[in-house]
Chains A and B, each alone.
Chain A
């Protein structure tokens, strides 16, 4: 993409010649201004060779400026800091430079939004200049768009054009690039139209920018858009204008947008005293290219070629038997692994030899790829080879199974376990790093003992390496190879790929070589797996016979990094990337069907399908469905979170007990019963701690004759309404939702909105103290300071201590006085008493429901899942109907607060001082001691306290030989990863049961 070539602009500078340079994270820009007029501009990608590229650009303008003319010059941009320091040229911070441009060229602008490769910025001009840059999570906007284009297998331009043809957008998490990708990947696999995905990606960028940067300040008036992505992507512009409701007169897209910072630098240089000649400039830049910079280095992966050869020879031994499809005659079994980024297929013969295999990127269209390959395979098989069975696994399992009539579907973990056992029957630990996911499981007594899957934050590592390699102009193989002998691998951190990406940019600017980055990235990915997913500190915790697999392990650099980190040798099968498919094939063989229902060559030739998007109206979740119709009338609906939406459950059938659903229904009833407005009305937001205390406050106000207006149950629209005022982008989603609740309430115009500050929660005697977390406790303070619309009404957020009977009623009288006047203390006491009674009744009902659900599960021989989180996780917009998903898998679902009374207070190794978290520990203790009861912990992203509870809950469960499953939830709505997790859990439980049965028989 090229920006405008013959850019002309009047700038009214005073110096004869000024040069502005902008060195961004991906591109270098240079402008020359002579006699107050922009005469030259240049925009190029620098591929991390910042200084060399700058030298090239400077040399190019020799004739334009003349060798000895005195010039004013300044550098800007994040990559410019180091260069400026090394060359002694003036530096100006880029946001500052942007503000200069706006002041000179568009003085009536009220806000500027600038997106770059790495950073996003907003500058407000109304009411004093206010500048913001994105927080650490929301980095890499431009890089993200590029990566997404790679994921869709199109160029960024193509993606842009596609987005303009979109008919709808999907909700995509906007917290950060990694989360967004987690939502996008399954959409691709479900066959959603690329046009719609492209538009959804832009919508996510817009939403991220607005939440992350505006932070409570409304963007309005004339808004100017700057930076590469906003200049090149028309779809993105459209999306911004729509989100901010800007018409043409109020949205400014200047043709100098890509150069704005460079021009700002020139304007800044114009005011400086210092001059130099072109010759001096060239010399300074040249000198800077020779400067040695050191980044934090790690030891090299291999000392020498010899060591590498020994390593290669060792791994070459882990080979699978191979056969020749062209000459083979007899039975064969097919396995398909439709993963997040790649599709893998394997055909095995009667003695498990691999006859044929396929491994490639699914290029955003797995159905077509599988069809193509199946057809090829069917033709190659001819009459000689009979496919007796077939099985499919992976993200696209359901879709592929329906499309091609594959005989079996199985969950990935089981497929991988089956395959790994083939290589080492005594395997006790399996680590799989795929494109999107990291999965590991321990094996004990031939059964899966514990499963660890990455959560959203550490996902996408594998595909990050390949996308990065391609962006640098390397193939994945080459990129891996050059990393092997890197002399000083750079440390790139391990939090997530967004952070890694920033670290890479920094390393590049520090002059790290591609070799060092390749090796460093491998180490980061491995550290992510070991420290964040496995949480292991000692190789012995992993096991003695470790099998590693997944496409990412083809990369020898990754493999070596892993062995180095563990100081242990592992087995990497020669078909590391095919293990899912191989396992599926082995499974298909083990089931031993007579005939396979797999489509024949003829059927494959006639194969066609259409997909259409719709929104399910079955319940309040409003799932976005993709309906795939295949030739022959077969239909597959994806995206539904329950059986009914997926078309599996007919009306009238008895639904599985689900305490979450019961609580939701009860809450719906409670909040629609508003009462009489004798004294007035109060607005209560149904978010955070209110979910727990709703019956209390509701009853208290109603008894006082104050009508209760609730904000209602959350949904995505409500979230969007409040998004603009969120000051901290790393806070948890439940807290973010609070802003939407407040907006909704204010529109309902109650006399006052009420959300008290509660340092202490109720005390259930289960913990050593009974705190709320800081966010639940003090969010009122934040709302008061940040939500502007609250100023249209009264907002009460008194500090209260619920448990102090003597003081509480009095404190409430004081708190309510400014709005509703004096309330007699005796009346207040009565109200408080009624409120506690109602609260107790609710809690009692929870416990009754829990017991009832357990009894029904027992009577019907069903498994029970304790979906353990916080009271506010019942909010369907927070738990995203994971409870329905669990019931559709056959689990009876209970909540942590409906069963925690059934166990004694467990011993924990940490400070047990939060009321909600104490329930978690008790629920875990209950699950640990009760057969057929499993615990799945819901953790909100950003919940710092859960960083402590998760390890404890896990240790309680594992002490009793139970599996621990954690689900990280956030704005991400797509349940693809959650489904895999829950199905893995179910698969492991069923396998263990089967083995126990068999054990009994023997």
Chain B
């Protein structure tokens, strides 16, 4: 069918989700007739389950909702911390060739519903939607199918997206909540950065995590109380920085390893076999881009569409406004770290974004799209040569943006020490660890550290 009798270009089609680049279809894929709605009445006494993707950020998110009259619970890695059960349940209800994150998230939900800890007739589940052309955009329908199969067809599935698609009468992500979420994500990124920089050097094991927990608590109290005021946030930045700076740490220098990859396995210890903890135990410090960069990537893709295809003028305009606001706030956070002067500040989104230019086109917007090579390139520019690229086994976009970018990265940065690791229910941990060890051995060798195994 030619454009004469078809619609005009999609990039410009109205109704495209403002955030996830093309979820216009969401309402089409789950017709109103068989979708279980989350009603106003449910809001009163239903528990909403939230998967644990980013332990810190999602904590805040659930708190924001709780402060607004919902009852939200952030799931742990399986009931009683049994990750194996989550995987088993996932394998059972999700097509085994579907991506690992889908299996884990859906496994988490059904495992929780099975656990008996929740009144299943008074429980809903919440899933965030991103994706576009990647199959990840199908997580929500897959979740519904799995719930139906597991006999929980009556459990409402609530989609979390910033454009109000797939509306549920009882669920509203209001402007004040979005506002609070943006700050929560900034807090989250700050805590993530500081935790990564302190944990490998802490003299008292667990002290860093304790401090993170303390601040999560304090920030939550703030959210619960008067809502978020920006002046308070900026004051908190300083207090947090001082608190972490006061943490007793050793003065040695450990090899620095950057982690980039598919968002779920990058952030979730459940998804990546506790990658950060492993690298820490092996004597390395880790660093990774925060969630804000991902959100900004999603938002800025609407501007990219405008630049590349010349479409979506209005959307691009709105996106531009949001992005500018968000970027300014991120800059404030970064400036706070720099001014404080103790810790390494994360890269500004605009710098990260620019770093991709030598490697990939900004039109690549499925999955992590151009952001993944951008993060790799940004790490290399700032001298972090050791990089782990993580992805679920068989991840489609990562063939191109992950494994497909390793060669050009290495060519332009001869010192680059990049390893790609696949995660999957069946993948053996020993093979993953062996590859990580190789990367670490090279990291130490290039650090001029003769003693390979020493905690140098």
Contacts and interface: CB of A to CB of B under 8 A. Distances in A.
Interface string A90-130: 11111110000000000000000000001100000001111
Nearest to A731: B399
Contacts of A757: 361, 363-364
A909 interface: yes
Contacts of B397: 774, 778
B142 interface: yes
Contact of B132 (A502, A527, A771): A771
B114 interface: no
B311 A728 contact: no
Given A802-B3, A804-B311, A944 B452 contact: no
A216 B406 CA distance: 10
Nearest to A297: B84
A840 B133 contact: no
Interface residues of B, number: 96
Contacts of A215: 403, 406-407
A909 B145 contact: yes
Given A728-B403, A769-B22, A774 B438 contact: no
A799 interface: yes
A843 B5 CA distance: 14
A804 B404 contact: no
A808 B202 CA distance: 57
A779 B400 contact: yes
A611 interface: no
Interface string A269-280: 001110000000
B10 A136 contact: no
Q: Which of A92, A128, A786, A836 has the most CB of B within 10 A?
A: A786
Interface stretch (B25-33, B184-192, B214-222, B238-246): B25-33
Contacts of B393: 136, 495, 730
A946 B96 CA distance: 11
Nearest to A493: B426
Contacts of B402: 728
B451 A272 contact: yes
Contact of B11 (A130, A135, A760, A951): A760
Contact of B394 (A81, A273, A910, A942): A942
Nearest to A901: B1
B445 A944 contact: no
Interface in B374-427: 393-408, 410, 414-415, 420, 422, 424-427
A806 B441 CA distance: 55
Interface stretch (A346-354, A379-387, A426-434, A503-511): A503-511
Contact of A78 (B149, B403, B430, B452): B430
A727 B95 contact: no
A910 B95 contact: no
Nearest to A911: B29
Q: Which of B9, B99, B395 has the most CB of A within 10 A?
A: B9
A556 interface: no
Contacts of B451: 272-273
A496 B309 contact: no
B4 interface: yes
Interface in A485-532: 491, 493-496, 499-500, 502-503, 505-506, 509, 527, 531-532
Contacts of B406: 215, 727
Q: Which of B308, B399, B422 has the most CB of A within 10 A?
A: B399
A257 to B, nearest CB: 20
A131 B438 contact: yes
Contacts of A947: 95-98, 135
A249 to B, nearest CB: 28
A338 to B, nearest CB: 31
B231 to A, nearest CB: 42
Given A127-B414, A804-B12, A836-B2, A505 B428 contact: yes
Contacts of A807: 9, 309-311
Contacts of A7: none
A944 B99 contact: yes
A778 B400 CA distance: 7
A272 B456 CA distance: 13
Contacts, number: 293
A765 interface: yes
B1 A843 contact: yes
Contacts of B132: 771
Contacts of B26: 911
A760 B9 CA distance: 8
Contact of B149 (A538, A765, A773, A944): A538
Q: Which of A505, A774, A799 has the most CB of B within 10 A?
A: A774
A158 B246 CA distance: 68
A470 interface: no
B366 A944 contact: no
A450 interface: no
Interface in B58-99: 84, 91-93, 95-99
Contacts of A296: 84
A770 interface: yes
Contacts of A762: 1-2, 6
Contacts of A499: 424, 426-428
A494 B9 contact: no
A765 B7 CA distance: 8
Contact of A803 (B10, B310, B359, B424): B10
B150 interface: yes
Contact of B25 (A728, A735, A769, A950): A769
B431 A119 contact: yes
Nearest to B144: A909
B199 interface: no
Contacts of B2: 762, 836-837, 839-840
B438 A93 contact: yes
B1 A763 contact: yes
A767 B25 contact: yes
A846 to B, nearest CB: 12
A948 interface: yes
A703 interface: no
B202 to A, nearest CB: 22
Contacts of B360: 781, 785
B251 interface: no
B51 to A, nearest CB: 19
A765 B434 contact: no
A797 B400 CA distance: 14
Interface in B280-329: 308-311
B98 A495 contact: no
Nearest to A910: B141
A727 B404 contact: yes
B8 interface: yes
A759 B93 contact: no
Nearest to A840: B2
A906 to B, nearest CB: 12
B138 interface: yes
B6 A781 contact: no
Nearest to A946: B97
Contacts of A491: 84
Given A273-B451, A500-B426, A503-B428, A948 B95 contact: yes
A303 interface: no
Given A273-B451, A769-B10, 10 more contacts: A81-B433, A91-B453, A757-B361, A759-B11, A763-B6, A767-B25, A775-B399, A781-B400, A785-B405, A909-B29
24 contacts: A81-B430, A81-B433, A81-B434, A90-B453, A96-B438, A136-B427, A495-B424, A505-B428, A537-B93, A728-B399, A760-B9, A771-B133, A774-B366, A774-B397, A778-B364, A785-B407, A801-B10, A804-B9, A840-B1, A914-B133, A942-B394, A944-B99, A945-B396, A947-B98
The 9 closest A-B pairs by CB, nearest first: A768-B25, A493-B426, A495-B426, A799-B363, A804-B9, A782-B404, A947-B97, A771-B133, A502-B428
Interface of B: 1-4, 6-12, 22-26, 28-31, 84, 91-93, 95-99, 132-135, 137-138, 140-142, 144-145, 149-150, 308-311, 359-361, 363-367, 393-408, 410, 414-415, 420, 422, 424-431, 433-435, 437-438, 440-442, 445, 450-453
